[in-house]
Amino acid sequence: MKRLLSAAVISCVLIGSASAAQQLSTDDAIGMAGLMVCDVFYSDIDSEESATKADIIKKLMAVKYKTSIEDMMMTQTTSDELERYISQFNSSDDNQKKSLCAQAIQYTQDSSVASLGMR
């Protein structure tokens, strides 16, 4: 149930409004979606490592809301790539999901996501 809810949230948050002037890049969309699905993934695991990862993800997601990423538009290509990413994540085993989460965290920490609202 949480995974289904997560996919719905990702769709709503990342699609953005039609009046938005900026396009959300495919990499940024996948990076943020990765954080969202990983937040759900790690919240289902009861361990200290998972709690630490979930805390990092929550902090990175808070940056997204401060930068107005939710107001950006997505191209159809980005939307299609995002769907493929979520499908890949959902069909992965736990080790693969942890690897995808590590990649999403690293991408978001290294990318310009924190400055999206100022581009």
The DSSP code sequence of 40-63 is: HHHHTS-SHHHHHHHHHHHHHHHH
Residue 119: inside a domain: no
Residue 80: inside a domain: yes
Residue 118: inside a domain: no
Please report the pLDDT score of residue 64 as a whole number. Answer: 63
Domain that holds residue 63: 2-16+23-110
pLDDT digits (tens, 9 = 90+) for 47-59: 888 888 888 888 8
Instruction: Compute the distance between CA of residue 116 and CA of residue 22 in angstroms, rounded to an integer.
Output: 9
Say how many domains are in the chain.
Answer: 1
Residue 117: inside a domain: no
Comparing 41 with 12, the larger pLDDT belongs to 41
Residue 116: inside a domain: no
Please report the pLDDT score of residue 48 as a whole number. Answer: 85
Please report the pLDDT score of residue 91 as a whole number. Answer: 95
Most confident option among 6-10, 35-39, 90-94: 90-94
Residue 71: inside a domain: yes
Please report the pLDDT score of residue 66 as a whole number. Answer: 58
pLDDT band at 98 (very low <50, low <70, confident <90, very high): very high
Residue 49: inside a domain: yes
